Structure formats: C-alpha cells, structure tokens
Amino acid sequence: MNSFKDIDISIVVPLYNEEAVFDKLIQRIKSVINDTKFSCEVILVNDGSYDTTDTLIQKICKEDIRFTGVLLSRNHGHQLAVSAGLQYVRGKKGAMIIDGDLQDPPELVNQFYDLLLTGYDVIYAVRKNRKESFIKKLAYSSYYRLQKKVSNFNIPIDSGDFSMLSRRVVDTMNIMPEQSRYLRGMRAWVGYKQIAYEYDRDERHAGETKYSWTKLFELAFNGIFNFSDFPVKIITRLGFLTVIFSLIYFSYNIYRKIYYNDVPQGFSATILAIILFSGVQLISLGLIGEYVLRIYNQVRNRPLFIVDSVIQEGKEISK
C-alpha cells in the first residue's frame, strides 16, 4: 500500500477469539489483495478477545502496512465492532465487510468491486446454502420472512453483513447514531442502487460460533423493533380483538340467559377473563418496553464503542 489517496477498498474484519482461524484468514486475504487490480487495506477489529487474537493483530499490522488494527477496550458485540471498523475506512471507493471465520469467502472482493464500478452502491451477499443445523436453518428462514413482512421498507431476505458499500454509503452509516445497531437494516434504509450477489456459505474454518441463541435473538429484536412499527400496531389489534371476544362472550351469555337460563357463573368465567386481559396487558407492556429500552439507551448518548489503540501503517497512532 502506498498512501491514503491510493486506497480504493477497505476490507473490514471483526474478530472475537479467532486465534484458531487467524493464520488461515490472513493467508487467504493476502492472497486476494496481492492479486487485485485495485488497492486494498484490511482493517482488523479486535472485539475484546481474551485469547491471543489481539497479539496476532498487532503482529501482522506491524509486519504489513496494508493491515490496520483497531483494538477495542472490551467486547462490544459484532455489530459495534463492524461499526468501529467502518469509522477507520480510508478506501476512497468504499468498503467490504466480511466475518473472520471464513464462512464468507474474501475472494469475492473482485466480483463485488466489478459491480461497484458499474454504479451499484451496495452489493450484498445472499446465502443460497447454509451449512448449519436444520433448526438454525429453519429459524433463520422464518425470521427473515417475518422481518420482510413487518418491516417498513425492504430488507432483503437471507442477506447478512457480508457486503461491499460505496464510499457515500459508508459515510452515511458512520453518522447514523443508533445504539442498538442492525447493520443490514441500516444498509437497506440508506437506499441508493443495491444488488444481491448469491453465493454458497462455507462451514466455519475453525473454532466455534460467537453468536449464541441469546445474541441471535437480540440481533433479531433489533431488526424488528428498529425498522418496523408493527409491534406497536399489534397492541391496538390485540385490544380490538379482546373487545370483540368480550362482546361475543357477553352476547353468548345473554343468549344462554334468555333461552336456557343457565348463564355460566363463578370461578370459570372469572378465571377466563383474568387470564385473557392479563395476557394482553403483559404482551402490550413488553412490546412498549422494547421501544422504551431503545429510547433509554439512545438518550444516554454514550459512545458506540471505546477504542483502546489503533495500529496503522505499522505504527500505533492512538492509545
């Protein structure tokens, strides 16, 4: 890499405890950027790893000036780690986001770049096949289709964070302030000219996935609550349904009273009413609470992430 002005594409790679895959990752990325017809830099973001990932990042960044290391103060999570990397992008044409587990092939940078040159601002990868358990495949498929149905705008089905973004999309996403980030939704919200690129997702090269079911649900909730007003609207619909059910039940009791004189009385009717109304109220409070929690996190106005140090062009530039 020569200078700042020579960089065309920045490749952002978030890493969390990836020492098992690190050497293979660097080998494949080096092979790619050695052969590209455009200039690249690689931004390795250490998301508070407790293994040797941070040491490995520092080593490669000092050996090869094409690599920049952004070392976060603690584990902030995948979405914020990517956001941190985007803040340090110097590519004048844009950035590519790729996970460090090699499930997404870095070799696609050339195909993505060709599409970028034709005028697309976002090239997002769509997974044709996933090498995961049946339960996870079913969960992912169901979620993406639910999200598409309830979102206020189109978020592509089966697309992850693996993508290439033009410079103006990177700049726009960098000034978006939301705390509970859902990058693929933000990317879609920005708009401009976007295109899907289908690919087969590989198995993780080594190590274990860092996305537990808890983190997956948290990400899914951000996708729903950040980009849809459906959860709020469903409260109104539940209210109407409850009223309609109550009127039907009341009419049924009147009918039984007039024609059979055996209106249900006492414990059963009371329990039914309590369970019904209590359930609707708890669901409503929970849905409102999700929005209140996001408002609370936003108004505190804390920084999205804390950077411990940055290694750029072989030198540590901040501490």
Give the residue with greater pLDDT, 23 vs 226: 23
249 and 308 in a common domain: no
At residue 121, what is the residue type?
Answer: D
Calculate mean pLDDT across residues 235-246. Answer: 71
Residue entry with tokens 């951000």? 222
In a domain, 49, yes or no: yes
**Confidence at residue 1, expressed as pLDDT on a 0 to 100 scale:** 45
Residue 183 to residue 219: CA distance in whole angstroms: 10
How many residues can be counted in the chain?
A: 319
146 and 252 in a common domain: no
**Confidence at residue 103, expressed as pLDDT on a 0 to 100 scale:** 83
181 and 34 in a common domain: yes
**Confidence at residue 307, expressed as pLDDT on a 0 to 100 scale:** 82
CATH code of the domain covering residue 88: 3.90.550.10
**Confidence at residue 143, expressed as pLDDT on a 0 to 100 scale:** 64
312 and 262 in a common domain: no
The model's pLDDT over 24-83, given as tens digits with 9 standing for 90+, comes to 899 999 988 898 888 889 999 998 888 888 889 989 988 888 999 999 988 888 888 999
286 and 142 in a common domain: no
Query: Hey, is 13 helix, strand or coil?
Result: strand
In a domain, 214, yes or no: no
**Confidence at residue 150, expressed as pLDDT on a 0 to 100 scale:** 64
**Confidence at residue 251, expressed as pLDDT on a 0 to 100 scale:** 75
Query: Does pTM surpass 0.85?
Result: no
- In this structure, what token pair is assigned to residue 232? 């709020």
In a domain, 15, yes or no: yes
- The count of domains in the chain is 2
Mean pLDDT of the chain: 78
In a domain, 260, yes or no: yes
- Report residue 96: phi and psi, to 5°: -115, 135
104 and 198 in a common domain: yes
pLDDT band per the 50, 70, 90 thresholds, residue 208: low
284 and 166 in a common domain: no
Give the residue with greater pLDDT, 25 vs 302: 25
Give the residue with greater pLDDT, 165 vs 304: 165
Residue entry with tokens 């309830």? 150
The model's pLDDT over 103-137, given as tens digits with 9 standing for 90+, comes to 888 888 899 999 999 989 998 888 776 656 666 66
Residue 118 to residue 134: CA distance in whole angstroms: 38
Instruction: Give the range of the structural domain holding residue 267, as residue numbers without chain letter.
Output: 230-299
Calculate mean pLDDT across residues 7-17. Answer: 91
In a domain, 169, yes or no: yes
121 and 28 in a common domain: yes
289 and 248 in a common domain: yes
291 and 234 in a common domain: yes
**Res 288 pLDDT > 90:** no
> Cβ neighbours of residue 182 under 8 Å, at least 6 residues apart?
79, 219, 222, 223, 226, 227
Residue 17 to residue 2: CA distance in whole angstroms: 31
147 and 191 in a common domain: yes
**Confidence at residue 118, expressed as pLDDT on a 0 to 100 scale:** 93
| Burial status of residue 96 (CB atoms within 10 A of its CB: 0-12, 13-18, 19 or more) | buried
In a domain, 123, yes or no: yes
196 and 140 in a common domain: yes
